[in-house]
A and B are shown apart, each in its own frame.
Chain A
Amino acid sequence: MVKKRQDYKGVVVCAPVTIPYSRYSIKSAHWFCGKALAELITSSGLSKSDVDGYCISSFTLSPDTAVGLMQYLGVTPRWLDHIPMGGASGAVALRRAARAIQCGDAEIIACIGGDTNHVDTFRETIATFSQFANDAVYPYGSGGPNSSFAFLTDYYMKQFGTKREDFGKMCVDQRTNALPIPFAMMKKPLTIEEYLNARVIAEPLRLFDCVMPCAGADAFLVMTEDKAKSLGLSYAKILATIERHNAFPDDPVQIRGGWAVDIDDFYNQAGIGPKDIDLMQAYDDYPIICFMQLEDLGFCDKGEAGRFVQSHDLTTGGDFPFNTSGGQLSTGQAGAAGGYIGIVETIRQLTDQVIGNTVENAQHGLVSCFGMINYDRGICTSAAIFGRSTA
């Protein structure tokens, strides 16, 4: 049993911001991150100099990092972090920022995940993703994440007898959640038949199993509860966070993620369990990874996620509201913003600033993040539980 960690009492998240997604953009990542900052300060009534800390995540800032971006945006923070963890960045940025606020290293931290998507950006990103990917994956068909998740899906389906209909149920429900979201890439309802009969991309994956890369940014602020109150901002409390990297390296094919290592510590810190969660946002570039999150975070047993999604309604009005803004599968994957979308949506739901459909009486929201297929599996996992300010 891990020693109980210090809680996040008195630290809150607020000001959920999304720079609307677009399939392609001629703007730069600097523009998307900068727009997110502008939106953060205007929506919270701050001036630029009030933000004294930054957590930045982006794939397409290159050759810059968070450092270059500070001069580009003309800001002078006393605390700066660059989180290069792709889809796991959001919750990791959150926990870094929360501790900095708690310790007084900064007063207001802007956590921003943003990326652009030029016509050839995605291909260039995956063609130079990591040393192991360059050496031992990309030269094998150059499918990018499609082929990696095809392996995980194939292995999982054969291990547990999961059907494509099970993944389809989840995708269809998420699409329902996405329909009122104005910036979602996918605008039309999805039927199970459309899902099942879509074009094959990398067997067993078909078109609607694969996330659509796009440009956009998501961002939020971290500050003390007192600060949020003094600014008159609606906020959510941070009840627990975890992160884990390169978990279960001896599993020959990934069938679980780092959440399974940290699950006890996670709920222990939050003081609540899976049954108390009112809504869940899981990292969803491909359905298989959602299934692993449902299992590894204790909502069902290993191999049971298919039955779980079939027996629950995952829409905002359902008995297990899941990816309530449609998730990336319906709204798009704006690069590193894909690691923030779940947090931003959860803050919206818990602070009554919802863009799409509201989950009634939501008190606790769980966000789970996953990132970086470095070689044959995703390396980074993280998660957070938020509570309504009155909870």
Chain B
Amino acid sequence: MIKALPHPKWKDPRVRTRKPSMPPGNRSREAQGLLSMAARGRFALQVCSNCGAVQYPPRQLCGKCLSEELSWQDVSNKGTLLAETTLQHSNDIYFRDRLPWKLGIVVADVGPSMVVHLSSDCKQGDKVRLALSIDAAGNAVVTARPEKPTSNEKDDLQLREMEFDPKHRRPLIVDGKTEMGLELTKAFLSAGARHVFVGYAKPWYESQYLEEIKKLDKVSVYPLDVTDTDSVEELVSMIGDKVEIMVNNSYHLRPGGLIDRFDINTAHDEMEIHYYGLMRLAGCFGPVMRAMGADGHHSATAWLNIFSAYAWINNPAVGTYSASQAAALSLSQCLRAELTPGGVRVVNTFIGPIEDEWHQLAPPPKLLPATIAPRIVSGLSKGIEDIPIGAVAEEILERLSENPKEIERTIKL
């Protein structure tokens, strides 16, 4: 059985700091289809519309009937472990630094045999639970764990490499003085975070949530204004080397569109906070996190942006806000490319309207921060890359993939 991961010790400065490296990242275009499923936490494989054969490894024609009508469909994630090995030797630097490494061949209930990264709790002949995860190079891989969850399964060191389990890690929550900030702090603590850093702007502006945060154990609060480069630099100089999960919770919403509320200042504030704010955070914290992305079992691991679902499609009721979210989303893709070589992955969550003072006139359903925060943390700990939260975000995503022009004309969510 997997042993519980021990509490991290103080880092011994004489011990070698493991440099970031990546597992092999060369994938065919068809195999990238797995990534789009993994990014959403789905276990989906190509299924032939003509003969029903499930394909793996991915291909462009059915391996049975040669039809080109293959579609990605959610399939059973159960299988049986037929063969296993534990590598004590590897040809790749990433794995050499992490040996021994357990692998298996699982025959999936839906048909194909799959080479998998194997949990050390699985034995030959066992039923197993398959998942599509994303490895440190940002590519989809298949992992297998015992069919029924085991007590310390998140502590499997090998599979922990493909997830962002907050256990024993230290997140920094940006803009923490909101209700969302409080709920995120609580969610990270209950997920086993070692310590939570909470940043807050505008110290003259009182916040009941910040007062509540201050009362929690294992939490420190720091002034942090993402519109001020000096402020961000000051914080990185204090705690930069301790931040293992960045939680960019910057939030500044003022209802209104473009012509109907022609207000450059508001639009400017939104960009300043969402877009330039992300840029300042990334410019200061990014290099430090990237350098520590392989530093032990509690290394820097993820950069989480909490975006609105309107980052995907402009909602004219909050038009300039949507635009600033889209700008930040675009920048996050650049950040993802730049952090990947350090083994730090960018995770974006997309949330629907929340129940707060700035969504007074938005129609229901609206989300409560106490509901959202645990779901964000749970998605993070599963290693999901794009986490849509709430019915509105789910619907936008589905309608966008079906007909982006339709939702552009009729979005009223």
Chain A partners chain B: yes
A interface list, Cβ under 8 A from B? 122-123, 126-128, 131-132, 134-144, 146-147, 150-152, 154-155, 158, 199-205, 252-253, 375-376
B203 within 8 A of A: no
Do A151 and B84 contact each other (CB < 8 Å), given the known contacts A135-B27, A253-B113?
A: yes
Question: Across the interface, do B26 and A376 meet the contact criterion of CB distance under 8 Å?
Answer: no
Question: Across the interface, do A151 and B24 meet the contact criterion of CB distance under 8 Å?
Answer: no
B209 within 8 A of A: no
A-B contact list, 15 entries, CB within 8 Å: A135-B27, A136-B115, A138-B24, A142-B24, A143-B95, A147-B85, A150-B85, A151-B83, A151-B84, A154-B85, A199-B88, A201-B87, A203-B85, A252-B113, A376-B105
Question: Across the interface, do B91 and A143 meet the contact criterion of CB distance under 8 Å?
Answer: yes
- CB-CB under 8 A from A203, the residues of chain B are 85-86, 88
Residue of A nearest to B90 (CB): A142
B199 within 8 A of A: no
Question: Across the interface, do B87 and A136 meet the contact criterion of CB distance under 8 Å?
Answer: no
Question: Across the interface, do B105 and A141 meet the contact criterion of CB distance under 8 Å?
Answer: no
Nearest-Cβ distance from residue B119 to partner chain A, whole angstroms: 14
Question: Across the interface, do A131 and B90 meet the contact criterion of CB distance under 8 Å?
Answer: no
CA separation between A131 and B63, bound complex, in Å? Answer: 14
- CB-CB under 8 A from B105, the residues of chain A are 151, 155, 252-253, 376
CA separation between A253 and B137, bound complex, in Å? Answer: 28
Question: Across the interface, do B31 and A142 meet the contact criterion of CB distance under 8 Å?
Answer: no
CA separation between A151 and B58, bound complex, in Å? Answer: 21
Residue of B nearest to A149 (CB): B85
B228 within 8 A of A: no
CA separation between A282 and B23, bound complex, in Å? Answer: 34
Question: Across the interface, do B24 and A139 meet the contact criterion of CB distance under 8 Å?
Answer: yes
Do A253 and B57 contact each other (CB < 8 Å), given the known contacts A128-B26, A140-B117?
A: no
Nearest-Cβ distance from residue B219 to partner chain A, whole angstroms: 38
Residue of A nearest to B158 (CB): A141
CA separation between A143 and B95, bound complex, in Å? Answer: 9
B interface list, Cβ under 8 A from A? 23-28, 30-31, 56-58, 82-92, 94-95, 101, 103-105, 107, 113-117, 124, 135, 137, 139, 141-142
Question: Across the interface, do B57 and A375 meet the contact criterion of CB distance under 8 Å?
Answer: yes
Question: Across the interface, do A141 and B103 meet the contact criterion of CB distance under 8 Å?
Answer: yes
CA separation between A205 and B103, bound complex, in Å? Answer: 14
CA separation between A150 and B101, bound complex, in Å? Answer: 13
8 Å CB contact of B103 from A123, A140, A158, A204: A140
CA separation between A127 and B90, bound complex, in Å? Answer: 11
CA separation between A123 and B116, bound complex, in Å? Answer: 21
CA separation between A204 and B103, bound complex, in Å? Answer: 12
Question: Across the interface, do B89 and A154 meet the contact criterion of CB distance under 8 Å?
Answer: no
8 Å CB contact of A136 from B83, B91, B114: B114
Do A376 and B113 contact each other (CB < 8 Å), given the known contacts A141-B90, A151-B83, A154-B84?
A: yes
8 Å CB contact of A201 from B82, B88, B107, B113: B88
Question: Across the interface, do B27 and A202 meet the contact criterion of CB distance under 8 Å?
Answer: no
- CB-CB under 8 A from B101, the residues of chain A are 141
Question: Across the interface, do B115 and A376 meet the contact criterion of CB distance under 8 Å?
Answer: yes
Residue of B nearest to A152 (CB): B83
- CB-CB under 8 A from B95, the residues of chain A are 141-143
CA separation between A147 and B85, bound complex, in Å? Answer: 7
Question: Across the interface, do B24 and A136 meet the contact criterion of CB distance under 8 Å?
Answer: no
8 Å CB contact of A253 from B56, B83, B94: B83
8 Å CB contact of A135 from B31, B113, B116: B31
Known A150-B85, A253-B105, A376-B115; 12 more pairs at CB < 8 Å: A122-B91, A131-B57, A139-B135, A140-B116, A146-B87, A151-B83, A151-B84, A151-B115, A155-B82, A155-B105, A201-B88, A375-B115
Question: Across the interface, do B24 and A134 meet the contact criterion of CB distance under 8 Å?
Answer: yes
Question: Across the interface, do A136 and B88 meet the contact criterion of CB distance under 8 Å?
Answer: no
CA separation between A134 and B113, bound complex, in Å? Answer: 16
- CB-CB under 8 A from A135, the residues of chain B are 27-28, 30-31, 57-58
Nearest-Cβ distance from residue B374 to partner chain A, whole angstroms: 32
CA separation between A201 and B91, bound complex, in Å? Answer: 11
Closest A-B pairs by Cβ, 3 of them: A142-B92, A150-B85, A135-B31
Nearest-Cβ distance from residue B78 to partner chain A, whole angstroms: 14
- CB-CB under 8 A from A154, the residues of chain B are 83-85, 124
Do A142 and B23 contact each other (CB < 8 Å), given the known contacts A252-B113, A253-B113?
A: yes
- CB-CB under 8 A from A152, the residues of chain B are 83
8 Å CB contact of B88 from A142, A144, A155, A202: A202
- CB-CB under 8 A from A143, the residues of chain B are 85, 87, 89-91, 95, 103
CA separation between A158 and B87, bound complex, in Å? Answer: 18
- CB-CB under 8 A from A375, the residues of chain B are 57, 115
Question: Across the interface, do A252 and B107 meet the contact criterion of CB distance under 8 Å?
Answer: yes
CA separation between A151 and B114, bound complex, in Å? Answer: 12
Residue of B nearest to A252 (CB): B107
Centre residue among B30, B83, B84, B94 by max chain A CB count within 10 A: B83
Nearest-Cβ distance from residue B136 to partner chain A, whole angstroms: 10
Question: Across the interface, do B87 and A141 meet the contact criterion of CB distance under 8 Å?
Answer: yes
Nearest-Cβ distance from residue A319 to partner chain B, whole angstroms: 33
Do A147 and B24 contact each other (CB < 8 Å), given the known contacts A140-B116, A140-B141, A376-B113?
A: no
8 Å CB contact of B89 from A140, A151, A201: A201
Question: Across the interface, do A202 and B115 meet the contact criterion of CB distance under 8 Å?
Answer: no
Residue of A nearest to B25 (CB): A139
